[in-house]
């Protein structure tokens, strides 16, 4: 162990990608038995630094020490075998296999020439019991909620007996109760001497769970301070390099006539929405709140035609529309920004240009020939109007930060000139600066007469940006109220109405 009980020391780490200096002489260290928060705007270099630690990227310069010993991990497997685990923000799991398969992938216990299923079950059950995780090891991953899958991934990381555990936005899909459970697990591991790196944009969580906080900006180390000496305002100032006195832009939109009517909408396949009715006005931002399992995502998917409805009617500008699939919905003037950006939003292995124009691809071809100039011009508009930080249109979208990926997807949908935008967790995993920009974009869209439906698990952002909030509970509408008459306590009370 190094002096001051540092489990991990990263010294002078630098890394360049084509056209981008992702890390510039960054140093970072973590004590044994502590939670060290790593914060910064999207693109600050947090994930790149941790991917270098985990063996996904190779640093261009710098040295890594674990327990005082200089270390280089050629691969994530080598990192895992040496006590470094990482739970990524975007889950990368084998959904068709069961939980214990995912926990033990690549290291199955053998019984002769066969895989020992009983040993797999016991190993997984023991890990879950130790962490008080109530999930059947034989459950298929595809049948679990995103929050349950997150817990599986945390269990897998712990199963490697990690000395250093990196958690990248671990609470982005968790309810308040599940966050408390996660914090109990973190405190348990901290008490066992584990060093935990906690990446999050949620200020309240950081101040509650962390011992120390390091802030990065534009690929550089800015500050490391004790959490007890920090406030939300001070963290924001360090992250963005300026004071951000208001978390939300002023609401300048003015709702007008009704643009969308949803009447008695009920999903065909359960669990789904049940007898949902509401109206949306032009220039209105309608928030949708609820606990995990409230069917908020299912509501947007049913309106957009991804999920089938057995009963009910959708009217746009007073006319019946039949969104039988997503292509029809787009033609009818709807756009859907999905919750899971990596799984259902971006084409990670393709460039920004492709990701910008794909929803409107028919508008770029004539007689089967692509109008490349129009595609380039529209992509340029997306980059400039959405303020996307990228070296060029040819950059692979997967190399952008989460916030910049999200802005590309919003720009993609705006190119289709929709009347109604359905936004499912548009600021999930996005930093405070990029969140503010997304709020501004949403308000600007409302100012242009668009109708916006905004699903979020963060009640402060719904209260700060929306005109009204529709609260869902177990697939039903528990209430629709003007934001001015709501607070977090009333939203929670409505969210539990049909449980």
CA distance 10 to 483: 46
CA distance 73 to 54: 7
CA distance 83 to 167: 14
Can 3-240 and 258-495 be said to share one CATH topology?
yes
CA distance 375 to 395: 15
CA distance 191 to 270: 43
Q: State whether the Cα torsion 232-238-244-249 is positive or negative.
A: negative
CA distance 8 to 396: 31
Chain centre distance of CA 14? 26
pTM of the model: 0.62
Other CB atoms within a 10 A radius of the CB of residue 461 amount to 19
How do beta strands 34-39 and 195-199 pair? parallel
- Partnered with residue 61 across adjacent β-strands are 14
**Residue that the structure tokens 């947090």 belong to:** 46
| Of 447, 417, 445, residue with least CA distance to 334 | 417
Look at residue 348 in the predicted model and tell me its pLDDT.
80
Local structure of 371: helix, strand or coil: coil
| Of 8, 31, 153, residue with least CA distance to 83 | 8
CA distance 36 to 25: 19
Chain centre distance of CA 157? 19
Q: State whether the Cα torsion 374-376-379-384 is positive or negative.
A: negative
How do beta strands 276-281 and 258-267 pair? antiparallel
Please list, in sequence order, all residues whose beta carbon lies within 8 angstroms of the beta carbon of residue 300, skipping any fewer than 6 positions away.
288, 336, 422, 424, 453, 455
- Gap between the terminal Cα atoms of the chain: 51
Residue 357, Cβ density class (10 Å: 0-12 exposed, 13-18 middle, ≥19 buried): buried
| Separation in Å, CA 88 to CA 72, 85, 144, 198, 380 | 20, 10, 18, 11, 31
pLDDT string in tens for the chain (499-residue length): 444 579 999 999 999 877 678 899 999 999 999 999 998 876 788 889 999 999 999 999 999 999 999 998 999 989 988 889 998 876 778 888 999 998 998 888 888 888 889 999 999 999 999 988 899 999 998 888 777 888 898 888 888 888 999 998 887 767 777 888 889 999 999 999 999 999 987 888 889 999 999 999 888 999 999 999 998 888 878 887 755 557 788 999 999 999 999 999 999 887 789 999 999 999 999 999 987 778 999 999 999 999 999 999 999 999 999 999 988 999 999 999 887 766 667 888 889 998 998 887 777 777 677 778 888 999 998 898 878 888 889 998 888 877 788 888 888 888 888 999 999 988 876 767 778 888 988 999 999 999 999 999 888 889 999 999 999 999 999 999 999 999 888 888 898 888 6
Local structure of 404: helix, strand or coil: helix
Look at residue 150 in the predicted model and tell me its pLDDT.
82
Domain boundaries, the chain: 3-240, 258-495
CA distance 15 to 212: 24
CA distance 244 to 235: 10
Give 3-240's CATH code, choosing from 3.40.50.970, 3.40.50.300, 3.20.20.70, 3.90.1300.10. Answer: 3.40.50.300
- The CATH topology of domain 258-495 is Rossmann fold (3.40.50)
Radius of gyration of the chain (CA): 23
């Amino acid at each position: 162990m190094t002096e001051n009980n540092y489990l991990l020391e990263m010294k002078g780490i630098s890394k360049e990608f084509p056209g981008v200096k992702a890390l510039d002489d960054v140093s970072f260290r973590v004590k044994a038995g502590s939670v060290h928060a790593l914060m910064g705007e999207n693109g600050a270099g947090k994930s790149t630094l941790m991917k270098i630690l985990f063996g996904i990227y190779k640093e261009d310069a710098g040295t890594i020490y674990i327990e005082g010993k200089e270390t280089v991990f050629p691969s994530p497997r080598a990192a895992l075998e040496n006590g470094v685990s990482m739970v990524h923000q975007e889950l990368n799991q084998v959904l068709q296999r069961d939980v214990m398969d995912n926990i033990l992938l690549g290291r199955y216990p053998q019984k002769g020439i066969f895989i020992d299923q009983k040993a797999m079950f016991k190993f997984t059950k023991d890990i879950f019991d130790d962490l008080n995780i109530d999930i059947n090891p034989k459950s298929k991953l595809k049948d679990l909620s995103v929050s349950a899958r997150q817990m599986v991934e945390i269990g897998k990381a712990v199963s490697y007996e990690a000395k250093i555990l990196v958690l990248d936005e671990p609470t982005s899909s968790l309810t308040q109760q599940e966050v408390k459970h996660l914090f109990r697990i973190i405190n348990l591991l901290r008490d066992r001497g584990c060093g935990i790196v906690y990446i999050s944009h949620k200020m309240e969580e950081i101040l509650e769970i962390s011992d120390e906080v390091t802030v990065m900006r534009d690929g550089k180390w800015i500050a490391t301070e004790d959490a007890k000496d920090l406030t939300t305002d001070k963290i924001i100032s360090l992250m963005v390099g300026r004071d951000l006195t208001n978390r939300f832009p002023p609401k300048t939109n003015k709702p007008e006539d009704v643009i969308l009517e949803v009447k008695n909408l009920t999903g065909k396949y359960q669990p789904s929405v049940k007898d949902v009715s509401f109206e949306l006005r032009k220039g209105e931002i309608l928030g949708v709140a609820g606990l995990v399992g409230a069917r908020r995502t299912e509501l947007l998917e049913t309106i957009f035609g991804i999920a089938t409805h057995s009963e009910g009617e959708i009217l746009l500008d007073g006319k019946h529309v039949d969104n039988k699939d997503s292509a029809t919905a787009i033609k009818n003037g709807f756009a859907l920004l999905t919750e899971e950006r990596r799984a259902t939003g971006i084409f990670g292995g393709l460039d920004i240009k492709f990701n910008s124009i794909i929803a409107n691809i028919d508008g770029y071809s004539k007689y089967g020939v692509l109008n490349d100039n129009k595609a380039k011009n529209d992509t340029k508009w997306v980059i400039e109007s959405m303020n996307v930080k990228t070296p060029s249109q040819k950059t692979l979208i997967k190399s952008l930060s989460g916030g910049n990926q999200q802005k590309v997807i919003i720009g993609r949908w705006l190119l289709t000139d929709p009347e109604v935008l359905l936004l499912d967790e548009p600021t999930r995993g996005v930093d405070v600066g990029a969140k503010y920009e997304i709020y501004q974009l949403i308000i600007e869209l409302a100012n242009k007469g668009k109708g916006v439906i905004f699903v979020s698990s963060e009640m402060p952002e719904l209260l700060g940006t929306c005109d009204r909030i529709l609260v869902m509970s177990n697939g039903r509408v528990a209430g629709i109220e003007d934001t001015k008459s709501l607070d977090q306590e009333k939203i929670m009370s409505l969210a539990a109405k049909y449980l």
